[in-house]
Chain A
Amino acid sequence: MIGQPTLNTREPRLDWLMVAGLLGLMVFGVLFIYSATMSREGAQNLALWDQPYFKQIVWYGAGTFLAAIVCLVDYPILTRWSLVGYWLSILLLLSLYIPGVGVDNGWGAKRWIKFPFFQIQPSEFAKLAFILFMAHFLSRPMDELRTPKVFLKALGLMMLPFVLILKEPDLGSALVFFPVGLVMMFVAGVPVQFLRRLIGGVTIVVALVMVDVLFAPKNLQFIKLEDYQKQRLLVYFGLDFAPPGATPQERKRWADIQRTKEYNINQALISVGSGGLTGKGWREGTQNALGYLPRTVAHNDFIFSVLAEESGFVGSAIVLTLYTLVLFTGIRIASQARDRLGKIMASGVVALLFSHVFINIGMNIRIMPVTGIPLPLLSYGGSSVLCSLIAAGLLQNIYIHRKSY
């Protein structure tokens, strides 16, 4: 231990309530990744260490280990290295643009860096590095925060990874930086009128972009979104794909495309809806087993659909409760933090986790557009699991080194 012990020995060392919530989520994660992947043809023939659920357990272990290491170092010391971490993550993001480094995994967007045994998604780590560095940056004296210069600098810190991730392209992950940055600035004490202007500005820009993308004729479209991004937005707003003035043949072709594009979300809705109150039972979900819910996304981005189908409203509510538990203990940790740095950092982590949960589940029930945002701890995927657990480790770190009453 490097930091001064600030607790007396009777007080708990860890926030066990949050640990319980995380454990519960991990149990759900393993169960439903198993369910989502074991129905595939030939899944049983894979070696144990190739089974996705087993890999996920390994990632949980690795993540817990990393979280423990994070807890060992007092967070102010961690934040001293945050500048390095931030730029390192920016470098990683940039390296995606070097031909041969970025891997698209067949999705058409280069988001992964391949290593011999695994691959990582730099954007996930960039989020953590951003939280650390932003917390460090915002923990300066309150007076400085009131100057527009600092505000603009903070905005710049946010915009850099945002733009890089946006260009991958990964709109969903990029957009997460906004709520996280906003919450951290709000909690840090950046004047509300600044934030209001920021929100107002962003709203106007987003609205203009939307109008431009969705309604402007082709020659007036200044914002060039990828086709699939535009189509996702059209699906979300329930608009016709076919441009105005399309011939009947074109219209028909567009309708076909639209049907395929809407397929995922419609199947996810059927999965969730047909789960009913109590669900069909573990491994009994037909949507996933029969492949209506596409196999490539059932165990990661749409794991919640599998869970909701098989465990019903009851299961969904339990999972939401577990997330709420983790988030609220996180906010409590923020309130108990020893200093502003801890408070800002904790609220950043909470905002990050919350954004993921809200966007991912929201997309499963069609209140959010489809984006590739994973559900923390439940979605299959190493980067996401490691980041979520490291984030939880950060919260625990702040808790361990909290104020003593």
Chain B
Amino acid sequence: MLIVDQLKRGDPKLRWLALGVLVGMFVLITGLWFLQVVNYKKYERNLIEQSYRTVRLPAVRGRILDRNGVILAESRPSYNVNLYLEELRPAFQQQYRLLKSNAVHRIELENKSLPADKKKKTRLTFAQTEELGRQARFMVANNLVRRISESLAIPVQLTEKQFRKHYEEKLSLPMPIVENLSSTNVARFAESLSTLPGVDLQVQSLRSYPSNQLGAHILGYMTRTEKAPNEEEGIEFDYRLPDFKGAVGIEGAFDEQLRGVAGAKSLLVNNMQYRQAENVWLSPKPGDDVILTIDAQIQKTAESSLGMSSRGAIVVMDVRNGDVLAMASAPTFDPNSFVPTITHAEYAKINDVETKPMLNRASFAIYQPGSSFKIVVALAALEAGKLNPHEQFYSKGFYPLSSRYNDRMDCTAGAGYFDFHRAFIKSCNCYFADHGLNTGLDNILRMGHQFCLGQKTGLPTRQDVAGYFPAVGTRKRNMGGAWTFGDTANLSIGQGDIAVTPLQMTVMTAAIANGGKVFWPRLVDRLESDDNGFRKVTESFPAGRVRNELIVKPQNLRLVQEAMRDDVADSEGTGKGAAMSGWQVCGKTGTATVKLGRSMETSRFTWFVSYAPFDSPRYAVVAMVEGGASGGGTCAPMARRVFEALQKMEQNSRVAGPNLVLGN
């Protein structure tokens, strides 16, 4: 080296000095090499850890549509007023300076009256300045909140605790002040508040059900969630934006598909944790749309037929393929009330223990089917050869169940002679009890199992119960005790050890109508995603999945079908309330009397199971009302209104073609 060479002539002491300098510089450069080159990754990681925050961005939730494209659930933009604290820093500082000078001034004033040796220090301690800073920040924020509250005429309270929590835990995120602004308030905001520093509107996607309570039990509802299921493994989020998850129904069952994939953004924060910049590095992927087999118009009719005041259910099914066209349950609720948060009063109302509006009575509640079960008993007896349809049977008007006088089954059909046809349309209990006993318990149970009673219907909505239907060969009551012939008689008229859902009865009715095909009911047709404007089917659920084919003689089935037709058509029939012009409706009424608990109080489940038209069956309608007057009086007219709507729907689609979209 040039310089060192020249030193050789100089004295050794300077060479020692040169060596010392060289060693020192070598130590430094080695240190730098280790830091900047060898351990670079470690320090970069530290840097990222301390200056980046990852925020989860919820994706726009997919819609739920009916079979014709009518929107049942969608995501609408909701406007929230947020405080952006990083923009308020100058105001914070100004306020702090003011507070500080006031505090110092106060001490100086006090000092004036004090002797020189007792004067307090005008310099504030660290803790005091901290406290002043806290006060200043809260005052600035609180003033803004008050202004927002006045301008929008919405009472908003910001507590110091709330503010401090946000400031300390998620300073880099905007602080929500008012959520879900009405459109008038959005206008008011734009007029008077948008120029305020640090205050801005933020758009959030919220769930909305445009038809309010329509199909509420099918759709389900949303609940607020802080933790999403571990969908995005590998990403550790520092913050999550408020998100919702589907609780039950389609929202719950298809939550994953509807939710889409959340995105992520990183916030660059400074040493005070204020936000400096942000960068969306993973855009959220919108969720899929779920297209139901439901027809909104039919659903609407079913719901209005039930009425809000009754407790019951109506299920409408296409008997040709098992598609559920409507599934109504009353009383119902408005899933909109869960978004963004449900009030306590609302929550109490929809969780009423008496009426249970949240309960999906169509598929999630079980009832004794009453006389509507006689369809199964008749088929079993016919198949077993124990029932001659033309043979006359004398009914005394009651049926003795034991030698004790009071232990007998009443019959509303009255005393007299009954053949099968008359017994069916007048729903004679004695006839069916007698023939049920002749047929034998196991034959009835075998027939019931052919209809898959006592088994879940495989609804995806989780609102699916198996109900109860005894196993073949059972000799024990479900409630305990040995099986008696009285139990068999009771079962023959759809009471006692049997509990079904209206949906199960619909599947059964549809199987009678279509000549013996027991379908898996289908509620969801397909999932669709929007791929740059192109609709893409991501998953489809095949229609007409046959679960079981009835092993019955066609002529026996025909006998039952004709009996059902006459139950409506005959002037003596219990179901004549369902008669309508144009279509021959086939039906069977049912009224099950049940004891409520251990008390002597009784309640009635009234039924009407039906399908139409007789000559080319297309639709099954099952109506069930808790506490109704009678199956024929209460439920048959409901079914008729639904059939009329179905008829109208068919006429409309014949006019407009098959792809008619039902509006509104």
Contacts and interface: CB of A to CB of B under 8 A. Distances in A.
A347 B28 contact: no
A328 B18 contact: yes
Given A270-B50, A276-B40, A277-B37, A323 B31 contact: no
B17 A351 contact: yes
Contact of B44 (A274, A327, A329, A331): A274
Contacts of B50: 270, 292
A290 B37 contact: no
Contact of B272 (A277, A291, A323, A361): A291
A287 B270 CA distance: 9
B39 A273 contact: yes
A295 to B, nearest CB: 9
Which of B28, B31, B39, B50 counts the most chain A CB atoms within 10 A?
B28
A350 B32 contact: no
A347 B11 CA distance: 12
B17 A277 contact: no
A236 interface: no
Nearest to A188: B13
Interface string B278-311: 0000000000000000000000000000000000
Contacts of B7: 331-332, 335
Contacts of B11: 335
Interface string A221-242: 0000000000000000000000
Contacts of B33: 313
Which of A286, A308, A327, A331 neighbours the largest number of chain B CB atoms within 10 Å of its CB? A331
A311 to B, nearest CB: 10
Interface in A327-343: 327-329, 331-332, 334-336, 343
Contacts of A361: 28, 32
Contacts of A270: 43, 46-47, 50
B107 interface: no
B25 A324 contact: yes
Contacts of A362: 27-28, 31
Contacts of A59: none
Contacts of B35: 269, 272-273, 308, 365
A335 B13 CA distance: 10
B533 interface: no
Contacts of A316: 29, 32, 36
Interface in B1-47: 1, 3-4, 6-7, 9-11, 13-14, 16-18, 20-22, 24-25, 27-29, 31-33, 35-37, 39-40, 42-44, 46-47
Contact of A367 (B9, B27, B40, B42): B27
A331 B32 contact: no
Interface residues on B, range: 35 or more
Contacts of A289: 270
A331 B270 contact: no
Contacts of A274: 40, 43-44, 46-47
Given A186-B16, A272-B35, A277 B269 contact: no
A103 to B, nearest CB: 15
A323 B29 CA distance: 12
B636 to A, nearest CB: 75
B276 interface: yes
B40 A277 contact: yes
A312 interface: yes
A248 B640 CA distance: 78
Interface string B245-276: 00000000000000000000000111110001
Contacts of A351: 17
B51 interface: yes
B36 A292 contact: no
Contacts of B43: 269-270, 272-274
A320 interface: yes
Contact of B3 (A273, A287, A292, A332): A332
Contact of A354 (B6, B21, B47, B271): B21
Contacts of A172: none
Interface in A151-177: none
A358 interface: yes
B37 A313 contact: yes
Contacts of A84: none
Contact of B37 (A276, A328, A354): A276
Contacts of B276: 290
A286 B51 contact: yes
Contact of A273 (B13, B28, B36, B271): B36
Interface string A175-187: 0000000010011
A343 B39 CA distance: 42
Contacts of B44: 273-274, 276
A275 interface: yes
B21 A350 contact: yes
A261 B35 CA distance: 21
A188 B50 CA distance: 52
A312 B3 contact: no
In this complex, the interface size class of chain A, counting residues with CB under 8 Å from chain B, is 35 or more
B13 A186 contact: yes
Contacts of B47: 270, 274, 286-287
B40 A183 contact: no
B13 A365 contact: no
A206 to B, nearest CB: 19
Contacts of A350: 17, 21
B472 to A, nearest CB: 70
A275 B28 contact: no
A275 B37 CA distance: 9
B46 A290 contact: no
Contacts of B25: 320, 323-324, 327
B36 A277 contact: yes
Q: Which of B16, B20, B33 has the most CB of A within 10 A?
A: B20
Contacts of B1: 328
A327 B19 CA distance: 11
Contacts of A276: 36-37, 40, 44
B219 to A, nearest CB: 46
Contacts of A331: 3, 7, 14, 17-18, 21
Contacts of A324: 21-22, 25
Nearest to A332: B3
B632 to A, nearest CB: 78
Given A277-B36, A354-B24, A317 B29 contact: yes
A313 B36 contact: yes
B271 A291 contact: yes
A187 B12 CA distance: 9
Contacts of B51: 286, 290, 292
Given A335-B9, A347-B14, A317 B32 contact: yes
Given A273-B42, A291-B271, A358 B36 contact: no
A340 to B, nearest CB: 10
Nearest to A330: B21
A328 B21 contact: yes
Contacts of B17: 183, 186-187, 331, 334, 347, 350-351
Interface in B392-435: none
B14 A335 contact: yes
Contacts of A183: 17, 20
Shortest Cβ-Cβ A-B pairs, 9 listed = A273-B43, A335-B10, A290-B270, A291-B271, A313-B36, A328-B3, A274-B47, A274-B43, A276-B40
27 contacts: A186-B13, A189-B13, A269-B35, A272-B32, A274-B43, A275-B36, A276-B36, A276-B44, A277-B36, A286-B47, A289-B270, A290-B51, A290-B268, A317-B32, A320-B28, A323-B25, A329-B3, A331-B3, A331-B21, A332-B6, A350-B17, A358-B24, A358-B28, A362-B27, A362-B28, A365-B31, A367-B31
Interface of A: 41, 183, 186-187, 189, 269-270, 272-277, 286-287, 289-292, 308, 312-313, 316-317, 320, 323-324, 327-329, 331-332, 334-336, 343, 347, 350-351, 354, 357-358, 361-362, 365, 367
Given A273-B46, A347-B17, A354-B21, 6 more contacts: A183-B17, A187-B14, A189-B13, A291-B270, A336-B10, A365-B31
